[in-house]
Structure 1
Amino acid sequence: MKTRLLIAVMGMAFATCALGATPTTLKLQKGGTTVPTTTPVGGAPLTTLEQDPAMTAGDADSGDGDELGAQPVVNRSIARGHAGSNRIGNARRAKSNPQLLGGFDGLNFHDQRYANGGNQFSVEPPDQGLCAGNGFVMESVNDVLAIYDGSGNELVGPVDLNTFYGYPAAINRTTGAYGPSITDPSCYYDAGTQRWFQVVLTLDRIGTTSSLAGTNHLDIAVSQTANPTGAWNIYHLPVQNNGTQGTPDHGCTGGFCLGDYPHIGADAHAIFLTTNEFALFGSGFYGAQIYAISKQALASGAASPNVVLFNGGDPSVPAPAFTVWPAISSGGQYVDTLGGTEYLLSSDAVFYDSGISNTIWLWSVSNTQAIDTAPTTLVLGVSPLTVQTYAVPSSLAQQKPGSAPLRDCFALAGCAPTYLGYPNIVYPTPRPMAVNDSRMQQVSYANGKLWGTLDTDVLLANGSHGSGINYFVINPKSGGVSVNGTLALPDANLTYGAAAVTQSGRGVIAFTVVGPNDHPSAGYASLDAKLGAGDVHVAAAGAGPWDGFTGIPYLAGDRPRWGDYGAAAADGNTIWTASEYIAQTCTLAEYLTAPLFQCGGTRAALGNWATRISAIGL
């Protein structure tokens, strides 16, 4: 997709500044309450309606016209050309994992598809949310969540998010009625209020049809106590930004904006949600949006918490605002200067035709203590930071060969037409797997510093382009970069990094490891404010290759997908990480053994992604 960008990227440096734009006040609508309750797992192994036609009816990047369903309406990519870097991966693989306290498999494609009695869609890639605290670990992936104790015992789950948020099922396979479309979950445990926060993007339908109404909102669930298995309050924040439901009018093509890719952060006084604003029914990117919401009001269950919005697409904002990721706090550490301050980070390589940059952007929202009394006095600031050159990675990675029954069924004469209902098509063995672009990933604030990561292009030892992880440790008060480097292996890709840090300033980067000698695996590396990143550890080796439906023209265009983001969370001196990996392998014969396509309950017909949750002691 060649999106017409609505932001001019200025090729000039400027001093750190506070912007004069006054934030917009909004209305937060309180809904009902919910208690996470395990839903039954089951349903038909494959149906004629496996994907949500409003969300996956064609890939806007592909230009193909042979996908299922109607014309695609959601167009959410802005990455430019892929450019090489001269940096060669030279990190070492650790031979042991002495700090790995334990781990367990989290949610997977089977849970996603068959939760709520199978009244769910097949969804790929896995969007990973993870939060931890008070002896619990909560994971949200795509449209399901689960809650575990500190030993990895599943207390609740899988819970489909339509049920959790009080909506009808994503698709009622008896009546054909559609519920709202839910995507992009993130969660956060706030030690200061001892509350759990879960956010998703929800798109409304026209009645119970598959068509989107245009209205969309961030649904925010807030636990009523420190126990996430108990009751939660639900709030709704409209983000279509077309002048309806109290939103400002940003003039998005087609009449409705989309609050895509929401992520969560917090300071002492406010919860911060950020989105990438695209036109929902047309082309165009309109700048990241930054929402600040009274944290105390949310935690207490108030009827109408104060909300303000900073529009990153406003012409007065000198930074290219895309994926402006707010910092999560480590153990209740917050910035107390300037009346309370939240920091955020973003990158800009995706805006350049070269795909290369040596700039990231440091954002701040200050005077947050006024969110309850004078919300329009919050102040937005932004400044550029010069960092090591990074580049948008090559989009595809090799993976280790192995059994991939979905791919094999498409290649075998008669198999796909008989069992899947699609014509035969032959793919490379193994199929290439997607990596991330260079947008900023999870940001943490700990020990007075900001910690963040993004994917970057690197050269592998065989001369091909791959993906590594550029990491930053920043002193936000001075704007100084304490440490900045690239973590990369010579023989494998590292992608979708997420950094979390203890209160004392000891960090971990979680990521996926994949390459010609590695099935998609859950990896991690230590991160130190002076020494940088350590050796690459594999917390759980992949059992087989990725074997999903994206990238298959009959199902989802020609763009294979792997993940949108990973997650990590600090709980005392333990870092919990969640990375996408492949936990299973099976043969085509096993795939075609009853119950069909499930390989003993380890996958579903159209995918086999899984997640690995690991505890790392520091």
Structure 2
Amino acid sequence: MKTRLLIAVAVMAFATCALGASPTTLKLQRGGTTVPTTTPVGGAPLASLELDPAMAAGDADSGDGGDLGAPPVVNRSIAHGHAGSNSIGNAKRAKSSPELLGGFDGLNFHDQRYSNGGNQFSVEPPDQGLCAGNGFVMESVNDVLAIYGSAGNKLVGPVDLNTFYGYPAAINRSTGAYGPSITDPSCYYDASTQRWFQVVLTLDRIGTTSALAGTNHLDIAVSQTADPTGAWNIYHLPVQNNGTQGTPDHGCAGGFCLGDYPHIGADANAIFLTTNEFALFGPGFYGAQIYAISKQGLASGGTANVVLFNGGDPSIPAPAFTVWPAISSGGQYAGAHGGTEYLLSSDAVFYDSGTSNTIWLWSVSNTQAIDTMPSALALNVAPLTVQPYAVPSSLAHQKPGSTPLRDCFALPSCAPVYLGYPSIVYPAPRDLAVNDSRMQQVSYANGKLWGTLDTDVLLGDGSHGSGINYFVINPNSGGIFANGTLSLPDANLTYGAAAVTQSGRGVIAFTVVGPNDYPSAGYAGLDAKVGAGDVHIAAAGAGPWDGFTGIPYLGGGRPRWGDYGAAAADGNTIWLASEYIAHTCTLAQYLTPPLFQCGGTRGALGNWATRISAIGL
């Protein structure tokens, strides 16, 4: 890890002046077009190669080698320690959900694994990307997308992301040829331009082999109209930052940087993408990267100016990790200082204690100059004092239930015969991992910034669990309108994502899981005056999580869940997307042909699903 980032948090006045870090300017050219087209679902139920070698080794959250040696190249964390100092929050379970307008099941593990004729890898976790507008709802996960009408009718999908971006299949199971490795999808509907923006991180291979070339890029798809089922333009933004393809050289160990964990935001003039920059072929974290891209350039299908701010620059007095840009609600933007985009980040992961009472407010101002003088954009950052929060310190227990993958591994007569792996016995059900305390989705609405992060909490029995810390901030003064912890005494809340209407009424989406709860889709209201409301269940889980991560033969490390949720405001309706478990089955049903699929509800190595819910405000 780069020691230059492990700086003490200085006591600062609320900053209004630009930092000394000079931005890098680039130009993006359109790279092609695409139309989302449903690909066939099928293929063999299990293959000898189920996991993408680029993603499968070690623990994808801790960055250590897990049981298989080398760490993976995506979804890394830099958390130093864990601590639990928060008391139980004051939320309670609601007896009814009057705001819930309806919902439907979205994409699931079966869609992911068997899309494109089964020429896909088994992937966990899904990583939720959701956006909504103009009568459409679009969901993208690792590594498929679907487009729905507002009534929940599927219009297109599943579409594997390799096909959507014009690449060969992730793995051609007839020839063994690899396509590029795609991960971390996000999307955003921009009301002002009436365009849809979708972004993924793509890692190039050496030819058609599994070996990574080192080059990696953010692929940005932009719809040509307000209809996401039509044609899209595609742009490729290189993020290896080693001096090639117009990138700056950040000196990442091994010669290539990695643009991990990309997320999207926007102001009136620019689309903002942020990444966590790690070394791809060596150790080290190099600071979050902030990319401002001309919105009009992208929306018109022409050339787009890009401005890159390096969060790892020594002049920046903030430990820059997961600097999340704000999405706009219904075309509301901050117009001060020539147009401003706000971003938030947290810093507890940088401390051995795993605790902090500081978050960081970032801003990029003068965005109106993006098309004429991009170097005139200015970056600012200032600390804000908030309620203490902490990196969650434990895994989440689950309510007992049927877990056929775990049960098969426990039987010498099952795993070696049906799965091709040695047997191993785990407690039933296995625990799953909650998030660290990195910032999650940020929204700008009604002149305020709204954000969440996961925090350690004390549960009713004295054990540690996960809750959600929320913030409502005045970005002009740094004042705090609302700040608190949403938690339950008997369950974990994790991967919160807040969206807010133009009038300032918000909802936080999350997963609820605990010894009395299968992983369920939950939500709570969020108000700038009273904070978070009661916890509602939008869709109760049907059984325990039963996935492959955490099993030594299949990736080692932590049993994954997440890595982020999503929510989107469309008028007075807020759409939520949460990971949950939609179906369950027995070991006997799991072993009934077609094998491992339980009637098309899961795959051999996983059973995650997603729930899309509409909340009226």
Sort the TM-score into its range (normalised by shorter chain): over 0.9
Alignment match, 1:79: 79
Q: Once the 2 structures are TM-superposed, how far is the Cα of residue 98 of structure 1 from its aligned partner?
A: 0.7
Contact preservation (8 Å) 1:22, 1:377: no
Amino acid at match of 1:38: T
1:169-248 correspondence to structure 2 within 5 Å: 169-248=169-248
Q: Once the 2 structures are TM-superposed, how far is the Cα of residue 21 of structure 1 from its aligned partner?
A: 2.0
Unaligned runs of 5+ in 1: none
Alignment match, 1:595: 594
Partner of 1:117: helix, strand, or coil?
A: helix
Q: Quick check: 1:105 aligned with 2:105? A: yes
Relative distance call for 1:418 and 1:5 in structure 2 (3 A) is farther
Q: Quick check: 1:8 aligned with 2:6? A: yes
CA distance in 2 between counterparts of 1:169 and 1:594 reads 26
Alignment match, 2:266: 266
CA distance in 2 between counterparts of 1:299 and 1:113 reads 32
Amino acid at match of 1:217: H
CA distance in 1 between counterparts of 2:591 and 2:28 reads 49
Partner of 1:55: helix, strand, or coil?
A: helix
1:488-567 correspondence to structure 2 within 5 Å: 488-567=487-566
Query: C-alpha deviations, 1:479-538, integer Å up to 9, x for none?
Result: 101110000000000000000000000000000000000000000000000000000000
Alignment match, 2:415: 416
Q: Once the 2 structures are TM-superposed, how far is the Cα of residue 87 of structure 1 from its aligned partner?
A: 1.1
Contact preservation (8 Å) 1:62, 1:557: no
Query: C-alpha deviations, 1:79-137, integer Å up to 9, x for none?
Result: 11110113124311001111100000000000000000000000001100000000000
Amino acid at match of 1:227: D
Contact preservation (8 Å) 1:442, 1:453: yes
Amino acid at match of 1:13: V
Alignment match, 1:439: 438
Partner of 2:94: helix, strand, or coil?
A: coil
CA distance in 2 between counterparts of 1:12 and 1:424 reads 52
Alignment match, 2:152: 152
CA distance in 1 between counterparts of 2:350 and 2:122 reads 31
Q: Once the 2 structures are TM-superposed, how far is the Cα of residue 74 of structure 1 from its aligned partner?
A: 5.1
Alignment match, 2:90: 90
Relative distance call for 1:296 and 1:73 in structure 2 (3 A) is closer
Relative distance call for 1:251 and 1:63 in structure 2 (3 A) is closer
Partner of 1:396: helix, strand, or coil?
A: coil
Q: What RMSD in Å do the two structures reach over aligned CA positions?
A: 1.2
CA distance in 2 between counterparts of 1:409 and 1:194 reads 49
Alignment match, 2:584: 585
Partner of 1:397: helix, strand, or coil?
A: coil
Q: Once the 2 structures are TM-superposed, how far is the Cα of residue 558 of structure 1 from its aligned partner?
A: 3.0
CA distance in 1 between counterparts of 2:102 and 2:478 reads 37
% identical aligned pairs: 86
Q: Once the 2 structures are TM-superposed, how far is the Cα of residue 394 of structure 1 from its aligned partner?
A: 1.6
Alignment match, 1:379: 378
Contact preservation (8 Å) 1:467, 1:494: yes
Q: Once the 2 structures are TM-superposed, how far is the Cα of residue 548 of structure 1 from its aligned partner?
A: 0.3
| TM-score, structure 2 as length reference | 0.98
Amino acid at match of 1:43: G
Contact preservation (8 Å) 1:73, 1:282: no
Moved more, 10-19 or 199-208: 10-19
Q: Quick check: 1:24 aligned with 2:24? A: yes
CA distance in 2 between counterparts of 1:121 and 1:404 reads 21
Alignment match, 1:297: 297
Relative distance call for 1:6 and 1:450 in structure 2 (3 A) is same
Alignment match, 2:347: 348
Partner of 1:18: helix, strand, or coil?
A: coil
Partner of 2:511: helix, strand, or coil?
A: strand
Q: Quick check: 1:167 aligned with 2:151? A: no
Alignment match, 1:55: 55
Contact preservation (8 Å) 1:29, 1:237: no
**How many aligned positions are there?**
614
| TM-score, structure 1 as length reference | 0.98
CA distance in 1 between counterparts of 2:587 and 2:234 reads 44
Partner of 1:554: helix, strand, or coil?
A: helix
Alignment match, 1:486: 485
CA distance in 1 between counterparts of 2:348 and 2:68 reads 30
CA distance in 2 between counterparts of 1:74 and 1:467 reads 23
Relative distance call for 1:567 and 1:199 in structure 2 (3 A) is same
Alignment match, 2:36: 36
CA distance in 1 between counterparts of 2:64 and 2:443 reads 37
Amino acid at match of 1:93: R
Relative distance call for 1:152 and 1:400 in structure 2 (3 A) is same
Relative distance call for 1:71 and 1:259 in structure 2 (3 A) is closer
Q: Quick check: 1:115 aligned with 2:115? A: yes
CA distance in 2 between counterparts of 1:240 and 1:521 reads 37
CA distance in 2 between counterparts of 1:65 and 1:575 reads 39
Q: Once the 2 structures are TM-superposed, how far is the Cα of residue 56 of structure 1 from its aligned partner?
A: 1.1
Contact preservation (8 Å) 2:259, 2:277: yes
Query: C-alpha deviations, 1:344-391, integer Å up to 9, x for none?
Result: 000000000000000000000000000000000000000000000000
Moved more, 558-567 or 517-526: 558-567
Contact preservation (8 Å) 1:446, 1:503: yes
Amino acid at match of 1:237: L
Q: Once the 2 structures are TM-superposed, how far is the Cα of residue 72 of structure 1 from its aligned partner?
A: 4.5
Amino acid at match of 1:10: A
Alignment match, 1:328: 327
Amino acid at match of 1:426: V
Q: Once the 2 structures are TM-superposed, how far is the Cα of residue 62 of structure 1 from its aligned partner?
A: 7.6
Contact preservation (8 Å) 1:498, 1:568: yes
CA distance in 2 between counterparts of 1:223 and 1:87 reads 46
Q: Once the 2 structures are TM-superposed, how far is the Cα of residue 316 of structure 1 from its aligned partner?
A: 0.4
Q: Once the 2 structures are TM-superposed, how far is the Cα of residue 294 of structure 1 from its aligned partner?
A: 0.4
Relative distance call for 1:607 and 1:75 in structure 2 (3 A) is closer
Alignment match, 1:574: 573
Partner of 1:407: helix, strand, or coil?
A: helix
Q: Once the 2 structures are TM-superposed, how far is the Cα of residue 413 of structure 1 from its aligned partner?
A: 2.3
Partner of 1:451: helix, strand, or coil?
A: strand
Q: Once the 2 structures are TM-superposed, how far is the Cα of residue 63 of structure 1 from its aligned partner?
A: 5.2
Contact preservation (8 Å) 1:406, 1:548: yes
CA distance in 2 between counterparts of 1:278 and 1:395 reads 25
Q: Once the 2 structures are TM-superposed, how far is the Cα of residue 223 of structure 1 from its aligned partner?
A: 0.2
CA distance in 2 between counterparts of 1:122 and 1:354 reads 35
CA distance in 2 between counterparts of 1:375 and 1:4 reads 29
